[in-house]
Structure 1
Amino acid sequence: MDTDFVLNPFGAELSDLVAIARAADATGVGAVWVNDHFSGEMVGAPWSRDPFVCLGAIGVVTERVDIGVLVANVTNRHPAQLASAINSVQSLAPGRVRLGIGSGAAPGSRFASEHDMLEKPLQSTDERVRLLRESIGSLNDIWANVPSNPSTSVGFTGLSAVVDGSVMPRLTVGASAWSTIEVAIDLADGVNIRRTSRLHEQLERLHAAELPAGFEVSVLDMRAPGAPLGVVPDDLVDAGVDRYIVTVSPADDLEAVVAMARR
């Protein structure tokens, strides 16, 4: 099983994000991800950092580790803008870029306040799932150089010259509900599920489903302060998870990551 890091951008200095990613590149970590949030207000932080600026800087200073966004919010990012951003990162880290996308925060959740700040009311679960499906369709069309897409939400007409011919990155859908997990099974290369009380129920249901060849199941775990890095919980090993993605704080965990590299 691969162990990945997802970097917390809230209140972080970009130099610290780059430093911890460079240290992770010297370990056996499979990938370094960055969250997609534009405000630190939800967690009491004074700012957040743009994920694609972070990934560009990380791509320049790393050589081995995969890099990606976990997950880009399709409610706030049109597929054309998202494709341009992630393809720009590909030009700095060829063959190492992954794209995580999600349908946006659930109404009433902590991160829904970002949508409130932009005066963008969150839609129902069904509408957000529809938008996610249509966004993936638009991304596929952009990479295939299809000039028009009929989606009423994320469609386009006469669109061209967005991406440079690189293969579309592996696509991971961030999911918490089964309806979103189904989108991942149908349209993506993998699914990322946050550890909650329902995790093992969802994993059992996933493994009972007919999954596409090469489909990756990953779990996002909020690491407790001071908890050791590089240790995969036994329950995830037993459940057959492919990737264990753990949160890392650039300000607090650099020494721990450097120590991993020295082992």
Structure 2
Amino acid sequence: MDFGVVTFLTDYGPAPVELGRAVEERGFGALMLTEHTHIPTSRESPWPGGPELPARYSHTYDPFVALAAIAATTDRIALGTAVSLVAQHDPIVLAKAVASLDRIAGGRVELGIGPGWNAEEMANHGVDPARRTARMLEHVEAMKAIWTHDEAEYHGTFVDFDPIWSWPKPTRLPPVLIGGGGPTVLDRVLSHGDGWIPLRVPVSGLDEFGGRVAELQRRAADAGRGHLPVTVYGASPKPQALESYAAAGVDRVLFELTDPGPAETDAVLRELDELAELLP
């Protein structure tokens, strides 16, 4: 099982290059960044984590800009999003950004995606919350067409363009990792994904979760897909929990860094040191 880090990279926390180097130097295999384009001041959409939305949600760097800086100053770690809200992006523009990042990173980019939860944020982008998942999947299809064809075109419900030229192409087809844990998420992983990122799977629920992982791999084999990697976002750092994740069929865990608050960069580096002690 591999070990990586996921974080809300904020303007008051460690600088992107500093964090990327620290993650790589300590031996982790991946650094994944969250995404919110912005946060509307309205709080009509309840935050799934509780009554008060933490400040970090409105202070995040653009993940693709930050990852480009990190890519240019690291050599080994996988770099990606966990998750990008791709339905809120123009797919032609995002396809070029991801391909450009992958070229800079030398083929180390993974695109974790999710439909999002903040209806007001979606509305500011002209996205109907009721159709966000369908739009997300079309955007993935359109981006894959751009990445793999010299003259790409796509005609769907939400995305429609005649043949276009768009370079650079990525060094490889960036793996698309589908986020979420709902009842139909495995369908999306199998139809549009190259892996699955479930969110904060509790240790108490790992028996049930292991059954879902087995179902995913069984269905993938039946479809001729081969093994589809599973990455758990926000894994518990307790050694016994890590053993349980591995037994459940998890391929990689992402430790979510604690939000230190302003001017506490050293606290993040200390946390990385502590997490690095868990690496094999």
TM-score strictly above 0.5: yes
Q: Which residue of 1 aligns with 2:226?
A: 213
Cα distance, 1:181 vs. partner? 2.6
2:251 equivalent to 1:242: yes
Separation in structure 2 between the aligned mates of residue 11 and residue 200 of structure 1, nearest angstrom: 39
Cα distance, 1:165 vs. partner? 5.2
Please say if residues 142 and 163 of structure 1, whose CA atoms lie closer than 8 Å, have aligned partners that are also in contact: no
Candidates 141, 144, 159, aligned match of 1:140: 144
Alpha-carbon spacing, 1:261–1:180, altered in 2? closer, same or farther (3 Å): closer
Please say if residues 33 and 67 of structure 1, whose CA atoms lie closer than 8 Å, have aligned partners that are also in contact: yes
Separation in structure 2 between the aligned mates of residue 154 and residue 202 of structure 1, nearest angstrom: 34
**Counterpart code for 1:36:** E
Please say if residues 206 and 244 of structure 2, whose CA atoms lie closer than 8 Å, have aligned partners that are also in contact: no
Q: Deviations over 1:210-250 (max 9, x none)?
A: 22313101111166xxx67x986332122110110111247
Normalization by structure 2: what TM-score? 0.78
Please say if residues 193 and 199 of structure 1, whose CA atoms lie closer than 8 Å, have aligned partners that are also in contact: no
Separation in structure 2 between the aligned mates of residue 243 and residue 4 of structure 1, nearest angstrom: 7
Cα distance, 1:155 vs. partner? 2.7
Q: Which residue of 1 aligns with 2:133?
A: 129
Separation in structure 1 between the aligned mates of residue 85 and residue 54 of structure 2, nearest angstrom: 18
Q: Which residue of 2 aligns with 1:38?
A: 37
Please say if residues 136 and 187 of structure 1, whose CA atoms lie closer than 8 Å, have aligned partners that are also in contact: yes
Separation in structure 2 between the aligned mates of residue 150 and residue 204 of structure 1, nearest angstrom: 37
Cα distance, 1:202 vs. partner? 4.2
Gap runs ≥5 in structure 2? 42-52
Q: Deviations over 1:41-86 (max 9, x none)?
A: 7422462211011101110111111111111112201221211111
2:151 equivalent to 1:170: no
Q: Which residue of 2 aligns with 1:63?
A: 75
Moved more, 168-177 or 38-47: 38-47
Q: Deviations over 1:5-48 (max 9, x none)?
A: 012124435x5232121011123311101111133674224622
Q: Which residue of 2 aligns with 1:108?
A: none
Gap runs ≥5 in structure 1? 106-110
Please say if residues 4 and 244 of structure 1, whose CA atoms lie closer than 8 Å, have aligned partners that are also in contact: yes
Number of aligned pairs? Answer: 250
Cα distance, 1:194 vs. partner? 0.4
Separation in structure 2 between the aligned mates of residue 67 and residue 152 of structure 1, nearest angstrom: 31
Alpha-carbon spacing, 1:203–1:134, altered in 2? closer, same or farther (3 Å): farther
Cα distance, 1:114 vs. partner? 2.6
Counterpart mapping for 1:148-163 below 5 A: 148-163=153-168
Alpha-carbon spacing, 1:248–1:166, altered in 2? closer, same or farther (3 Å): same
Moved more, 197-206 or 26-35: 197-206
Separation in structure 2 between the aligned mates of residue 155 and residue 177 of structure 1, nearest angstrom: 29
Q: Please tell me the root mean square deviation across aligned C-alpha atoms, in Å.
A: 2.8
2:6 equivalent to 1:6: yes
